[in-house]
Amino acid sequence: MSRVLSAWLCALAVLVSPALGQTIDFQPAEQDKAAYFSLSDLSPEQIARLAKLPAGDPAWAREFAVYVLDTTLVEQEDRSKTPAMAGDYALHKNQLRFTPKFPLRPGLTYQAVFQEKGKPARTIEVALSKPPAAEKARVTQIYPTADVLPENQLRFYLHFSAPMSRGEAYDHLRIIDEANQAAELPILELGEELWDKSGTRLTILIDPGRIKRGVKPREDIGTVFKAGHKYTLAIAKEWHDAAGEPLAEGFRKQFRIVPPVGDAIEPAEWKIAAPKIGTNDPLVVTFPRPLDHALLERTLSVANAGGKELAGKVKVPTGEERWEFRPAQPWPSGKLELVVDPTLEDLAGNRIGRPFEVLGGDKPVGGLLKPHRMPLTLKQ
Amino acid sequence: MKWTFVLAMAIALAGFASASQAATPGLDQSGKPDLKSAGPIAFGPDGVLFVADPAGAAVFAIEVPKAKPVEGKAGEFKVAGVDAKVASLLGTTAGDILINDLAVQPGSSVAYLSVSRGKGPAGTPALVTVDSQGAVALVGLDKVNYAKVALSNAPEADAKDKRGNSLRNESITDLAYIDGRVLVAGLSNEEFASKLRAFRFPFGKEEDDTSIEIYHGAHGAFETRAPVRTFVPLIVAGEPQILAAYTCTPLVRFPLSDLKPGAKVRGTTIAELGNRNRPLDIVSYEKDGKTYLLIANSARGVMKVTTETIADQKGITEKVADKAGLAYETLEALKGVEHLDKLSPTQALLLVRTGDAVGLESIQLP
């Protein structure tokens, strides 16, 4: 769902104040050229005066400037207090050109003002129409997919169908208990918000201060989830996408809580169903308990004896209790290894060789610093 | 006499040479920095502004124009609707921008804001200055002296770079300059990891850089990884220390000298800020010969923390009632403070959100 602003830029000059002499024009953006406003038919003395001004001098904006017409702007009537739009000025023969520093926003109206000393200001307004409304964004999936989660569930991934706006995530998320009460600050609120680069996946962390044992918030208010109870993660539809539109609808994930999981991940407990050499059948690894969806997608791989990773397709079926790998080329004979990145975590943040919480502090880091390697025996 | 003449010539030549010198030390590039986003910012030596670029996984050092120096008290700030002003400057509306961080140019009355124009992933970064009169200006980045250092991913993740790299991202929660190094605190959007990186400045080879995992030891001796959400460098008993707020709330300290490759750094808890606290920003300041911390805290207003006993603090290792460790008081009237920085030796500058309005105001350091 891409919105290429320049493609949809459709400018309508709404009002040109009548007068003789200089005309104000707007040139919409073209392929490689940015949009600009121009003041034409300058007199020789105007040109001479402007030519003397250094670049960036505030005097340019006092003569000719562009403003966003926005009814919510403070002190709009007093233009001297409204910042003009940033941009570059250039003289082209007897024309003064102002090229805004940033692309004009569809849906906004801009006003170019020519203020000659002692004369009334002359303006034009350019209203950029909004592109036709695209399909509204929606939540497509929440991980973990399981509806039974441990009391120390650490993290959820929220997937959206289109890029979302930053800055309002925590306003639209609630964790509601069986009595329909919303928990107070259950989610770690970070100004940065934990989005991926495409803006379609948000990571939320349950407040670690209420998960970690011996930490004040947990001791004072207790955990967010309590074993034996049901909760709902509710996403409000008022959440805006990157185009400023709310979601098509909200989303709810209901789940039941069981006791916390505090053990390290044990690869020895994994069941590996090995495929046959020469086929493209999937290698299937089954875990005794669900693991983190995002980390499963990227922390496991198969390598040959030389350490080279085999190309292929990874699949993590619903429930996140299995990892399947289908090779691009038929399975070769020879030594193969399942390679596991040390950052693999389960739903509570436990890793291989290191639980989320380790008792007894002054020990070495523990856990893995290098990938975990397991030999694979394929069927003949 | 002759030597005086030679000396005078030498000084004149040196003056001429430095006047024609292009860059501040450490800024080895000239042109337009390829900034993909503008997140946390902090000033370094010689008026260099460090800008964290989480989308580009890099940190930039950018030369910014020198401001008129201010002796003693800076101008009073009371800029209402600063978000609307910044938006207007950027040719859009207040609802279309994000103000990411605030840093005051030392010795001046100029506040720098790092901004996103557009709230989606395609948002354009911008640096904007605001003065005490409320005048806003765009910091020109078309031709500046700058330097750039890349934030490498965790060594483990490098191996998986081809697959899944577009989803895994690291947010940068804070950065600061101390003792010749730029410190960057980051938090992954996948594995629960706390990464603190230390880069030498001027930026050097990768081997000079250190990436450390930070741990927290709670009462009952449970130890966990502890992401840092904000920190401030502080000299304690002559030694550079880092005072950091974890995402699980304790305020900790650890010596800068602990930040060595492969080291396991565990902060000493020096204060429990209590539950429902979300420390957002910390600065240190001097008043009447003593050092204090000012912490912007979304739930509880702004906190003033004494640091007198930091050096003695053995760390809080036992269960305590509400207030523990370093003494602090809460200035409850100052609610909604999202960012703060020192403005002058006697003032702080606050970015405050009350309802929909965002303002920049100065206060006397308490």
Give the closest residue to A163 by CA, choosing from A240, A241, A268. A241
Asked whether this complex has an ipTM greater than 0.85, the answer is yes
Span B153-163, mean pLDDT?
46
- Residues paired with residue A92 on neighbouring β-strands, in sequence order: A95
User: For residue A353, how many C-alpha atoms fall within 13 Å in the half-sphere facing its CB?
Assistant: 13
A354 touches chain B (CB under 8 A): no
- How much is the pLDDT for B136? 94
- How much is the pLDDT for B276? 73
User: For residue A214, how many C-alpha atoms fall within 13 Å in the half-sphere facing its CB?
Assistant: 18
Cβ of B275 and A154 within 8 Å? no
DSSP string, A191-236: TT-EE-TTS-EEEEEB-GGGTSTT-HHHHHH--SS-TT-EEEEEE-
What is chain A's percent helix, strand, coil content, to nearest 5? 10, 35, 55
- How much is the pLDDT for A1? 39
Cβ of A216 and B280 within 8 Å? no
- Out of A178-182, B44-48, B257-261, the most confident range is A178-182
Span B326-351, mean pLDDT?
89
Taking only residues 184 to 243 of chain A, the set having a beta carbon closer than 8 angstroms to any beta carbon of chain B reads 184-185, 188-199, 201, 203, 205, 207-209, 212-217, 219-221, 240-243
Least confident of A114-128, B67-81, B314-328: B314-328
- How much is the pLDDT for B163? 54
| Angstroms from A221 CA to nearest CA on chain B | 8
> In this structure, what is the dihedral angle of CA atoms A175, A179, A184, A188, given to the nearest 10 degrees?
-20
| Spatial separation of the C-alpha atoms in residues A293 and A152, rounded to whole Å | 16
Cβ of B221 and A81 within 8 Å? no
CB atoms within 10 A of CB A298: 22
Span B98-108, mean pLDDT?
94
Ordered mean pLDDT values, 10 residues apiece, chain A (380 residues)? 42 45 86 90 87 85 84 49 89 91 91 84 87 91 98 97 96 97 93 92 94 85 95 98 95 98 96 95 97 95 93 96 97 94 95 87 64 92
* Nearest residue on chain B to A220, alpha-carbon basis: B275
**Position A25, amino acid:** D
Span B24-43, mean pLDDT?
94
3-state secondary structure of A46: helix
Confidence of residue B282 (pLDDT cuts 50, 70, 90): very high
Whether the Cβ atoms of residue A48 and residue A42 lie closer than 8 Å to each other:
no
Span B233-249, mean pLDDT?
87
Cβ of A190 and B319 within 8 Å? no
Name the token pair of A259. Answer: 């006791």
- How much is the pLDDT for A31? 86
Whether the Cβ atoms of residue A212 and residue B224 lie closer than 8 Å to each other:
yes
| Angstroms from B342 CA to nearest CA on chain A | 20
- How much is the pLDDT for B17? 45
| Spatial separation of the C-alpha atoms in residues A197 and A163, rounded to whole Å | 9
DSSP structure class, residue B14: H
Cβ of A221 and B275 within 8 Å? yes
| Spatial separation of the C-alpha atoms in residues A321 and A77, rounded to whole Å | 62
Question: A345: which residues sit within 8 A by CB, 6+ positions away?
Answer: A154, A265, A291, A292, A295, A351, A356, B191, B192
- How much is the pLDDT for A366? 59
The answer, yes or no, to whether residue B361 has pLDDT greater than 80, is: yes
The whole model's pTM is what? 0.90
Question: B249: which residues sit within 8 A by CB, 6+ positions away?
Answer: A209, A215, A216, A217, B272, B273, B274, B275, B277, B279
A5 touches chain B (CB under 8 A): no
- How much is the pLDDT for A100? 94
Whether the Cβ atoms of residue B59 and residue B198 lie closer than 8 Å to each other:
no
DSSP structure class, residue B109: S
Cβ of A199 and B134 within 8 Å? no
- How much is the pLDDT for A262? 94
Taking only residues 18 to 47 of chain A, the set having a beta carbon closer than 8 angstroms to any beta carbon of chain B reads none
Question: A259: which residues sit within 8 A by CB, 6+ positions away?
Answer: A150, A151, A227
Give the closest residue to B293 by CA, choosing from B301, B303, B284, B280. B284
The answer, yes or no, to whether residue B82 has pLDDT greater than 60, is: yes
The string of pLDDT tens digits covering residues B136-147 is 999 999 999 999
Name the token pair of B4. Answer: 């005086």
Whether the Cβ atoms of residue A156 and residue A173 lie closer than 8 Å to each other:
no
| Spatial separation of the C-alpha atoms in residues B242 and B9, rounded to whole Å | 46
* Nearest residue on chain A to B173, alpha-carbon basis: A192
- How much is the pLDDT for A328? 96
- Residues paired with residue B43 on neighbouring β-strands, in sequence order: B49
Least confident of A71-80, A262-271, B166-175, B222-231: A71-80
The answer, yes or no, to whether residue B340 has pLDDT greater than 70, is: yes
| Angstroms from A219 CA to nearest CA on chain B | 9
Least confident of B23-32, B158-167, B273-282, B338-347: B158-167
Give the closest residue to A260 by CA, choosing from A356, A184, A343, A353. A356
Full set of structural domains in chain A with CATH: 5-128 (no CATH), 139-258 (2.60.40.1220), 267-376 (2.60.40.1220)
Name the token pair of A296. Answer: 């499963």
| Spatial separation of the C-alpha atoms in residues A173 and A327, rounded to whole Å | 39
Q: What percent of chain B has pLDDT over 90?
A: 47
Give the closest residue to B196 by CA, choosing from B177, B206, B210, B207. B210
Position of tokens 């929909």? Answer: B356
| Angstroms from B289 CA to nearest CA on chain A | 32
Position of tokens 């002359």? Answer: A122
Taking only residues 186 to 245 of chain B, the set having a beta carbon closer than 8 angstroms to any beta carbon of chain A reads 187, 189-193, 213, 215-224, 226-227, 229
- How much is the pLDDT for B250? 79
| Spatial separation of the C-alpha atoms in residues A36 and A112, rounded to whole Å | 10
A82 touches chain B (CB under 8 A): yes
Q: In chain B, where does DSSP find H-type helix?
A: 2-19, 82-89, 155-159
